[in-house]
Amino acid sequence: MATLFFGYAKEMLPAGDHQLVQIIDSALADAARRSGEWLVCHPGCTQCCVGVFAISQLDAERLRTGLRELEKNDPQRAAHLLERVQLSVSRIAADFPGHVQTGILGDTAEAQERFADFANDEVCPVLDPATGMCDLYASRPMTCRVFGPPVRSEYGLGVCELCYQGASEAEVATCEMHLETAALEAELTTQTELATGRYGDTIVAFALIP
């Protein structure tokens, strides 16, 4: 069987990822404090766990590191997670807008257009359906870490549609999650790509396929 990205046994997560996660988690805690009751995210709320999204190779390696730890600490739980990963890949592989063997998303305009409508109803395989909890929560991708509070993008401030009900635009703006990690994240992603030999974005299921 061909060796896939997941197959690397050597630890390839850059040391600086710990610092990146700490900065993001601190920014989230600060935004949550300012948001108060407007931020209704809680354990078991899984709306943001439906639909695939692109993750970097840094995110992918963090997930694999978390899975290796789970395999050591709770082999049965890890086995159930991998079963869900394999089932997810079997459902979405035929229409995957990228390279199925590596899990790398295509970077052409046509591939990106296809990805916009790809697997929007697919539940993240890392989500345990019995508990409604993320089995790799401590190792989750950056998209998951910043979801909920207001985060600024080229489209303005984006928030979870379940949160900030009744808040004005000005009130939402006071809760903005301030992120100044783009340069650090890009640097660490480059390091990961050089270490693994895999370049470009992927998705959670393909990052974890055995």
Element housing 17 (H / E): helix 17-35
Average pLDDT over residues 174-189: 95
Mean pLDDT of 28-56: 93
**Cβ–Cβ under 8 Å, residues 192 and 57:** yes
Residue 11 clears pLDDT 90, i.e. is over it = no
5 occurs within a structural domain: no
pTM: 0.91
The verdict on residue 139 lying in a domain is yes
Which one, of 119, 97, 127, 110, lies nearest residue 202 by Cα? 97
Among the ranges given (29-33, 85-89, 149-153), the one the predictor scored with the smallest mean pLDDT: 149-153
Question: To the nearest whole number, what is the mean pLDDT of the chain?
Answer: 92
141, part of any domain = yes
Least confident of 120-134, 142-156, 177-191: 142-156
Burial class (CB in 10 A: 0-12, 13-18, 19+), 156: exposed
Residue 210 has what pLDDT? 84
pLDDT of residue 40: 92
Residue 108 phi/psi, 5-degree rounding, is -80, 165
Give the count of domains, the chain.
1
pLDDT band at 4 (very low <50, low <70, confident <90, very high): very low
The answer to whether position 8 is within a domain reads no
Residue 3 located in a structural domain: no
Question: Is 2 among the domain residues?
Answer: no
In a domain, 1, yes or no: no
Neighbouring residues of 91: CB distance < 8 A, sequence distance ≥ 6 = 119, 122
Q: Which domain holds residue 117?
A: 14-208
Amino acid (1-letter code) at residue 162: L
9 falls within a domain: no
Evaluate if residue 10 carries a pLDDT over 70: no
Exposure of 123 by Cβ count < 10 A (0-12 exposed, 13-18 middle, 19+ buried)?
middle
